[in-house]
Structure 1
Amino acid sequence: MNIIVGATGQIGSNLISEVKKYGAPVRAVVRNPEKLKDKSIEFREADLFDSDQLREAFEDGTTVFVITPESQTSNDIIGDTRRIVENYRKAVEQTGIQKVVGLSCVGAHVDGNTGNILMSRILEQGFDGLNARKIFVRPSYYFSNWLGYLDTIERYGILPTFFPEDLDIEMNSPIDVAKIIAKVIVEEDAFGDEDVIELTGQQRYNPRDVANIFSMTHNKPVNLQVISHIKWRETLRSVGFSENTAANLVGMTQAVIDNIAVPEHPGKVIKLPTTLEDYLFR
């Protein structure tokens, strides 16, 4: 049985579809079953902060896919991550899970003040010494992150960004990422003995490129609005982030700008096929 944590998220929901294509058994672990897109699959309700619920959700599993928390309102997102990862570890140990597949991110190898990227580092290190196969998938920046600005684009013709307009960034499709993770889960030797798989897209894009592509998808001019560093936290707080989660997102953004969030093994990076244009026009 393949256990999928975060099954209602953008990666998890696509991952379930991809695993099912292999004809492999799958179980979703969710807090709210009503959000499941595929109502036909087996599921277990579990709060990731509840170790007993998590253990029950992992029972009879052979492989588990795990993620870091995504809460915008946490007052200690790093502490939350440590608690959840410890609960994952206990549940794996108690149920005899044989393989752990973790959704990490490019830059997780870096030891430093990297904000949200540190959460992925905690996830990877949290299974050290565990008697199970461990594979961590590290994607770059998701195309889908730009979709949060669709309303602003449609109403005002503006694309806000924290990034400098000419900063070229590695980006990839979450759908492509889900396909790779499904392969890791189902095909035992798909990537040999690799324990870290780093992913990027076909090319880099800067925010100006993204604005131009949105101009094409919306058939109207889309102007870039670069938000000053001193306004980052204020902007995030205005859309519902806590002071803590805003600070960590700022740390991650700065790590990208400073070229810290880069692949650890550039010679082994897998380039995913979907372009931003194809993703937005799909």
Structure 2
Amino acid sequence: MKITAMGSLGNIGKPLTRELIKNGHAVTLISSTAERKREIEAMGARAAIGTIMDTEFLKRAFDGSDAVYLMGIWEAMGSAMDDKVDFESGFIKMAHNYKKVLEQTGIKKIIYLSTIGAHTANGIGALKYHHHVEQVLNRLPAAFLIKYMRPVGFYTNLLRSIPTIKAEGAIVQNFGGTAKEPWVAPLDIAHTIAREMGSEFKGREVRYIASEEISAVEIAKTLGTAIGRPDLKWMTISDQDMLNRMRSHGMNAELSKGFVEMQAAQRNGHLYKDYYHNRPEPGKVKFTEFAREFAEIYNQ
């Protein structure tokens, strides 16, 4: 198949593109950065350089494809450190751009990288943006066949805790404890999308993606051992304290509130309500493997 994909050379986009090409597909990879064109082409893909907020660009990138892999590109809406950016409106506009261009090009096979929590718009914070996208895409006629990929929390999100580990000797969040929660490796997401791209499309389908279920306490112990800090703790703070920390670092007010609410939904289990009714087979990449990668980055 001819496939137009998003994700540029990121943790999902790069391995996904390689696997799709290996599986015999012709891939056009969208990136907003012209400097990545050479590396994209070196992988054997065609580079399409532009922004997803430009429907004329999207139409050119999609034209002639048999299938598309879509995702939400936060950076296309603005900086997470800019209080003036309205990310919710940005995601809704992005969704309508996708719908418009899909109708214009007639591409019927669609995969959208959504998220856990997208089954609802209530009580899940910033993840409701993906719910909005799913709802807009669901307004496409029934002939458009859509697979919604809903990964759980990424292992790589824990890299954001490196500064607090170094400064405070702890991972600091407004969720935690001994209850096991699902986490996922980007490589497992890429592999699942590649597999789904090569399998039958029918109607509207949802696929949850997870690698391993592990508690916050176990995460701290595993990462602490990997980085040579066996005393590493996972410290749980209040929602208000978490919000204050995010705002003190300059994060957009809307996003700060949205991320705190999202993590509160992790803490109270609301986030996982639909996941546990549709629990997937675990992926191949276990947390101990990620811990080695984490240690390499931590020690750089």
Aligned pairs for 1:225-236 within 5 A: 225-236=235-246
Distance 1:261 1:205 in 2: 16
Change (3 A) 1:179 1:223: same
For the pair 1:141 / 2:159, whether they are aligned, the reply is no
Residue 129 of structure 1: CA displacement? 3.8
Higher RCO (C-alpha 8 Å, min separation 6): 1
For the pair 1:276 / 2:287, whether they are aligned, the reply is yes
Distance 2:71 2:129 in 1: 10
**Structure 1 residue aligned with 2:199, among 182, 188, 198?**
188
Q: Report if the CA contact (8 A) 2:216-2:234 is conserved.
A: yes
1:19 corresponds in structure 2 to 20
**Counterpart AA for 1:115:** G
Distance 1:87 1:111 in 2: 21
1:208 corresponds in structure 2 to 217
2:296 corresponds in structure 1 to none
TM value normalised by structure 1: 0.90
Residue 151 of structure 1: CA displacement? 4.2
Change (3 A) 1:268 1:168: closer
**Counterpart AA for 1:47:** T
Identity of aligned residues (%): 21
Provide the secondary structure at the position in 1 that maps to 2:270. coil
Distance 2:36 2:164 in 1: 26
Distance 2:247 2:135 in 1: 30
Provide the secondary structure at the position in 1 that maps to 2:172. strand
Provide the secondary structure at the position in 1 that maps to 2:74. coil
1:52 corresponds in structure 2 to 56
Provide the secondary structure at the position in 2 that maps to 1:64. strand
**Counterpart AA for 2:55:** S
Post-superposition CA distance 1:144-172 (Å, at most 9, x none): 11012234435654322221333432111
**Counterpart AA for 2:223:** F
**Counterpart AA for 1:29:** I
Change (3 A) 1:100 1:153: same
Q: Report if the CA contact (8 A) 1:3-1:29 is conserved.
A: yes
Residue 66 of structure 1: CA displacement? 0.9
Post-superposition CA distance 1:190-210 (Å, at most 9, x none): x877711112223x2222211
Residue 257 of structure 1: CA displacement? 1.5
**211-220 or 38-47: which moved more?**
38-47
TM value normalised by structure 2: 0.85
Aligned pairs for 1:96-245 within 5 A: 96-130=106-140, 131-154=143-166, 157-185=169-197, 187-189=198-200, 195-202=205-212, 204-221=213-230, 222-245=232-255
**Structure 2 residue aligned with 1:63, among 48, 64, 67?**
67
* CA RMSD in angstroms, aligned pairs only: 2.2
> Structure 1: any 5+ residue segments left out of the alignment?
none
Post-superposition CA distance 1:1-51 (Å, at most 9, x none): 211122233222221122122121111111113246544221111212211
Provide the secondary structure at the position in 2 that maps to 1:195. strand
Post-superposition CA distance 1:176-220 (Å, at most 9, x none): 1110001111x133x877711112223x22222111111121122
Q: Report if the CA contact (8 A) 1:62-1:96 is conserved.
A: no
Change (3 A) 1:85 1:194: closer
1:249 corresponds in structure 2 to 259
Change (3 A) 1:118 1:24: same
**Structure 1 residue aligned with 2:92, among 71, 82, 98?**
82
> Structure 2: any 5+ residue segments left out of the alignment?
294-300
The alignment of Structure 1 onto Structure 2 pairs a total of residues equal to: 279
